[in-house]
Amino acid sequence: MKRSKRNLHIIEFFGLLLALLWLSPFYLMIVNAFKTKREIFTDVLGLPNESTMDNFVKAFVDLDFMRSLFNSVIITVLGVGIIIIFSSMAGYALARNKSKLSGIIFLVFVAAMLIPFQSVMIPLVSLFGKADMLNRTGLIFMYLGFGSSLSIFLYHGAMTGISNSMDEAAIIDGANRFQVFWKIIFPLLKPISVTVGILNVIWIWNDYLLPSLILSDSSATIPLKMFLFFGQYTKQWHLALAGLTIAIIPVIIGYFFAQKQIIEGVSEGAVK
Amino acid sequence: MRNRDLSFWLFIMPVILSLSIVIIIPFIYGFIYSFTNWNGLAATEFLGFKNYITLFKDAEFRAAVWFTTKFAVTSVILLNFLGLSLALLVTRNMKTSSFMRTVFFMPNLIGGLILGFIWQFVFISVFGSLGDLLGIEALTGWLSTTATGFWGLVILTSWQMAGYIMIIYIAYLENIPKDLLEAAEIDGASSIQRFWNITFPLVAPAFTVSMFLTLSSSFQIYDQNLSLTDGGPYNSTQMVAMSIVKAAFKENKMAYAQTQAVIFFLIIATVAVTQVYYNKKREVDL
């Protein structure tokens, strides 16, 4: 027993060492964000000599950070919001309808997950261009299309655990389908809504390619602005690193507050 | 809820509409366009398989397919090894387990584009100065050759995704009945025997899931490729996803890019279906 306890301590020590190694890219990013261009060149590993906030101030202004943060938040909230509303409705309807047609529709949604984004990207952009929809509204509508498959799949799975007798009782009491869904079923689906929400937030918040094809500079999200910003600052690592640090601060804050839900949500989504 | 109920259709109409407009219609159009001389606005001529023949003769595209395949195979192996190892590490009864989970998972929350930029700095500046300092020449000039670009991408995506795969394995590891492992221990099975004969077979479904995820995501990688190497040097680290974007939006060869996109779909669909079929079969055997 004693030996296994000592072994556990050795394993824990190596585990922590590995965790530090895992964090090292972030350490290197942060410490160098405080250095001058020259100091990065002469001493890349150490702490900054005379740390200043200059890099951060300049990166913050050049990134137009408050605006891109706002754009990211708006697009993520609206995109995830409509995915949750419409996928849960569809998942409910498809699970409750036992017909052949409903089975086929469900299968089409699942099969659509096999289509990589690049395979539809070019006609999609052309189609939305013709309809004059290459803007934020068009982008949010696209997120519903790309996000609905997995979300419907998850809602559909969760519905099997909710008995039909509830629906029937409510219908006998005179409720219509919308009332049954929103007042009775949707609240019961809350755990899966959290999972769907987290998976889609992670994806939409970080998405780069789709917004880059659609959004103009004034409505650019954080990843998009980051890319444009980097183009100007190749070789100016002190500014670039300050920009990267600013860009990931909102994510780290979010992770800090919702750590448990995020990890549980992701594992729920992966196991289903 | 029956088919002829209006409410059924009202409930599913929004997602059917968006799926059709965003995926199904562009997918069909894209397939048709790949047989024409489409320039993004109009297609004036039906070319038959001409685009496909040009594509198969295109050495750069073939190189992209080969590079992507090599990358996908390497990262699937590494990611599953790392993911399972990390999961076994953090499911032990240690005070710091949840801290480790948090740390290993963190990179997944930050987009591939940003992570690629961070690692570009690590590979170029940090590796470079460490190489100079320690006199190890192999550390300098990272990302400037095809081989270091390849391993750079592998390291970046392993670091990013291992935590995700870890979470999947944890979910399955925690479902293994404790008494099964205890009984084996009492019967005198060593920890290695317990792993190979109990744990490993029981996490086989996790392997199916994580292999599907790692395969399809490594075949589709774009952001990391763009921000880490941008395909360089001389397009030698360019993957298929990037090749399509470049052909379409930089070189304006829409029909040709769409032909690549069709082949891309066929590769991913074949790989994914084969993998799931094969893994499912294996699971039953166990």
| pLDDT tens string A105-151 | 999 999 999 999 999 999 999 999 999 999 999 999 999 999 999 99
Q: Which residues of A touch B41 (CB under 8 A)?
A: 126
State pTM to two decimals: 0.93
For residue range A202-238, what is the model confidence (pLDDT) as tens digits?
999 999 999 999 999 889 999 999 999 988 877 789 9
Please tell me if residue B44 touches chain A, with a CB cutoff of 8 Å: no
| Over residues B240-257, mean pLDDT | 95
The whole-angstrom distance between residue B231's C-alpha and the CA centroid of its chain comes to 17
Q: Is residue B167 less than 8 Å (CB to CB) from chain A?
A: yes
Q: Which residue in chain A has the smallest CA separation from B29?
A: A123
User: Could you read off the pLDDT of B2-20 as tens digits, one per residue?
Assistant: 666 889 999 999 999 999 9
Between CA A68 and CA A70 the distance in angstroms is: 5
pLDDT at B180 over 50: yes
pLDDT at A38: 86
Mutation site for B-interface testing, chosen from A23, A35, A122 by largest number of B Cβ within 10 Å: A122
Across the strands, what pairs with A211?
A: none
What confidence score (pLDDT) does residue A74 get? 97
Q: Across the interface, do B170 and A255 touch by the CB < 8 Å criterion? A: no
- Mean pLDDT, rounded, for B61-71: 96
* Closest residue to B100, CB basis, from A19, A142, A266: A19
> Which residues of B are less than 8 Å from A271 in CB distance?
168, 171-172, 209
Say how many Å lie between the first and final Cα of chain B, rounded.
40
B7 and A124 within 8 Å at the Cβ level: the answer is no
- Please give the share of chain A, as a percent, with pLDDT higher than 70: 99
- Confidence tier at A50 by pLDDT (50, 70, 90): confident
Beta-bridge mates of residue B36 = B46
Chain Cα centroid distance, residue B75:
8
What whole-number distance in Å separates Cα of residue A123 and Cα of residue A132? Answer: 14
Mean pLDDT value across chain A: 92
B180 at interface of A, judged by CB pairs closer than 8 A: no
Predicted confidence (pLDDT) per residue in A244-268, tens digit? 999 999 999 999 999 999 998 988 8
Give yes or no for B257 touching A (CB within 8 A).
yes
* Average pLDDT estimate for B90-119: 94
Residue A135's pLDDT is what?
Answer: 94
Interface test with A, best of B19, B104, B126 (most A CBs within 10 A): B19
- B23: contact with A, CB 8 A cutoff: yes
Interchain CB distance below 8 Å, B26 and A127: yes
Statement: residue B285 has pLDDT above 70: no
Model confidence at A186, in pLDDT bands (50, 70, 90)?
very high
Question: B258 to chain A: which residues are within 8 Å by CB?
Answer: 122-123
Our CA-based measurement puts residue B112 at a distance from the nearest CA of chain A, in whole angstroms, of 8
Taking the CA atoms of A101, A107, A110 and A113 in sequence, report the sign of the dihedral they define: negative
DSSP chain B: --TT-HHHHHHHHHHHHHHIIIIIHHHHHHHHHTTBT--SS----B-TTHHHHHHHH-HHHHHHHHHHHHHHHHHHHHHHHHHHHHHHHHTSS-TTHHHHHHHHHGGGGS-HHHHHHHHHHIIIIIHHHHHHHHT-GGGTTTTSSHHHHHHHHHHHHHHHHHHHHHHHHHHHHTTS-HHHHHHHHHTT--HHHHIIIIIHHHTHHHHHHHHHHHHHHHHT--HHHHHHTTT-STTTT--HHHHHHHHHHTS--HHHHHHHHHHHHHHHHHHHHHHHHHHHHHHHH-
Computed over every residue of chain B, the mean pLDDT equals 92
CA dist., res. B104 & res. B98, Å (int): 10
Partners of A112 on chain B (C-beta within 8 Å) are: 19, 23-24
Q: Which chain B residue lies closest to A97 (C-alpha atoms)?
A: B1
CA-nearest residue to B41 within chain A is A126
Determine the distance in angstroms separating the CA of A27 from the nearest CA of chain B, rounded to an integer: 10
Nearest Cβ partner for A223 among B21, B114, B220:
B114
Q: Is A248 in contact with B114 (Cβ distance < 8 A)?
A: yes
For residue B286, what pLDDT is reported? Answer: 46
Q: Is A51 helix (H, G, I), strand (E, B) or coil?
A: coil
Inspect the interface and report whether the beta carbons of A114 and B272 lie closer than 8 Å: yes
Query: What residues in B contact A55, CB-CB < 8 Å?
Result: none
Quick one: which of B191, B42, B222, B197 has its CA closest to A209?
B222
Report how far residue B17's alpha carbon sits from residue B23's, in angstroms, rounded to the nearest whole number.
10
Contact B162, B79 (CB under 8 A): yes
- Cβ distance of A32 and B121 shorter than 8 Å: yes
Confidence of residue B49 (pLDDT cuts 50, 70, 90): very high
**B195: closest CA of chain A, how far (Å):** 16
**pLDDT average, residue stretch A79-102:** 95
Convert the pLDDT of each residue in B116-171 to its tens digit.
Answer: 999 999 999 999 988 888 888 888 889 999 999 999 999 999 999 999 999 999 99
Check whether B284 has a pLDDT greater than 90.
Answer: no
